[in-house]
Amino acid sequence: MDISRDRSFKLFESAQAVIPGGVNSPVRAFRAVGGNPPFIASGCGPWMTDEDGNRFLDCIGSWGPLMFGHAHPAVMKAVQDQLARGWSYGAPTALEVEMANAIVDAVPSVEMVRLVSSGTEATMAAIRVARGYTGRSGIVKFEGNYHGHADFLLAKAGSGVATFGLPECAGVPPAATADTMTLPFNDISALQAAFTAHGNSIACVIVEPVAGNMGCVPPAPGFLQALRDVTNASGAVLIFDEVMTGFRLAYGGAQQRFGITPDMTAMGKVLGGGMPLGAYGGRIDIMRCVAPVGPVYQAGTLSGNPLAVTAGLATLELCRQNNYAVYRQLDEVGARVANVLREAAHRSGVPVTVQQVGSMITVFFTREPSVNNYTDARKCNTDQFGTWHAAMLSAGVYWPPSQFEAAFLSSVITENEVDLIASAAGKAFDVVATAGAK
């Protein structure tokens, strides 16, 4: 489509003078794909409109929270009703109890939960609690998994760290990651060797059960069970980072979908329905370490904010409707979109691997049949991805602006939108093929 971005361009120029890189989260800057980001003015259903009046089909969904699209009437009404009663108290509310019970009822691993304001807070606190519970300091994470920007979790991280090719993060002293061991994702042998050598000093293993921050990479057969086995044997705490997958891949998260129950779970995104809300929880004996009951301190002025909790409760109610029909719908939409992407690439002769779990999808520009870990992901052709992304945006489809980020589809994407994705992808792959022939 013929689009003008004059106002977005001017806003980006102005933003760069007062905000680092012009954005408040690095991947939004579009540096990995070239060009300037559209500045969004509004969203409705599966669509977003930028400041220049251009309309885009949103395949990011605010990076995961918007399972039901933008400005869903039920969520909006619930928030408006709460807004009239106030939006911050700094005191306990009945809403927090309702949300805690909803999480405990939904997530297999959670017997007790603490609300926070972001996924980063949730993972950071979960690890602190695991260390306090075990009396150990060692952390195991996996290459390409991103668990927020806490110092000790930025070793070989995914998301923006992978997008910008940062080997390490400046400002993080070596001592901060001295107790963090990073292993290849999906490598059971490396996992077992690490626990054979260091099992007695490892407090916890934290993992994205389906990786989304190096692109969508599912767990290899037996990998999650191996995590459960080695942590059970060593006394380490197994933490699932379900900030992306929680309430998205199933109502009980990836742990319900794959049938593996961790000791603790970090949550966010869908949980807040698009508002800043996170949570961490787990077994009662572990969670009783948290202050004021136990010695592990964690606090937050806006934790359990009534507006965020209200948006989250309304979203979870939508998830439960019609016997959780939204999850079947999202699986079907995800499969259809993955198929049209594969077909479009094949027609254009562009080698790609499309990986999809439920409503999470990534188009990897690689000749390999699958992407199983961070090393595989890093071998993908990011220049081709950038060319494809720009063409998709010009065709009206807003796709994640990085080879190393998953797309998140919403339940309000219909066959008409799938057809648009197919048409846009066909044109975009043709552009890639033409560029490669020059």
**C-alpha–C-alpha distance, residues 310 and 269, integer Å:** 14
101 burial class (0-12, 13-18, 19+ CB within 10 angstroms)? exposed
* pLDDT above 50: residue 164: no
310-363: per-residue pLDDT in tens?
Answer: 999 999 999 999 999 999 999 999 999 999 999 999 999 999 999 999 999 999
Q: What is the pLDDT of residues 183-225, one digit of tens each?
A: 999 999 999 999 999 999 999 999 999 999 999 999 999 999 9
The DSSP result for 148-206, as a single string, is -S-GGG-TT--THHHHTT-SS-TT--GGGGTTEEEE-TT-HHHHHHHHHHHGGGEEEEE
pLDDT above 70: residue 110: yes
The fraction of the chain above a pLDDT of 90, given in percent, is 90
Q: Confidence band (pLDDT; 50, 70, 90) for 57?
A: very high
Residues 129, 122: Cα–Cα separation, whole Å: 11
- How much is the pTM? 0.95
Pairing of strands 360-364, 407-408: antiparallel
Could you tell me the domains of the chain?
6-71+324-437 (3.90.1150.10), 73-317 (3.40.640.10)
Which pLDDT score, from 0 to 100, does residue 173 have? 81
pLDDT above 80 for 158? no
Give the contacts of 138 (CB within 8 A, at least 6 positions apart): 179, 181, 198, 201, 202, 203
Tell me, what's the pLDDT at 178? 87
Active site residues: 146, 241, 269
- The top-scoring range by mean pLDDT among 170-174, 259-263, 434-438 is 259-263
User: Can you give the pLDDT at residue 165?
Assistant: 47
pLDDT at 162 over 60: no
Band of the pLDDT at 146, cuts 50, 70, 90? Answer: very high
Residue 163's pLDDT is 46
Range of weakest confidence among 3-12, 27-36, 167-176, 332-341: 167-176
In the predicted model, what is the mean pLDDT of the chain?
A: 95
Q: Does the bond joining 292 to the residue before it have cis omega, within 30 degrees of 0?
A: yes
The phi, psi pair for 407, rounded to 5°, reads: -85, 150
**Confidence at residue 111, expressed as pLDDT on a 0 to 100 scale:** 98
Judge whether residue 250 has pLDDT over 70: yes
Structure-token pair, residue 215: 């692109």
The answer to whether the beta carbons of residues 90 and 301 sit under 8 Å apart is yes
176 pLDDT higher than 90: no
**Residue 152: band (very low, low, confident or very high) from pLDDT cuts 50, 70, 90:** confident
Q: Closest Cα partner for 378 from 213, 183, 175?
A: 213
pLDDT above 60: residue 167: no
Helix, strand, coil fractions of the chain, as percent rounded to 5: 45, 15, 40
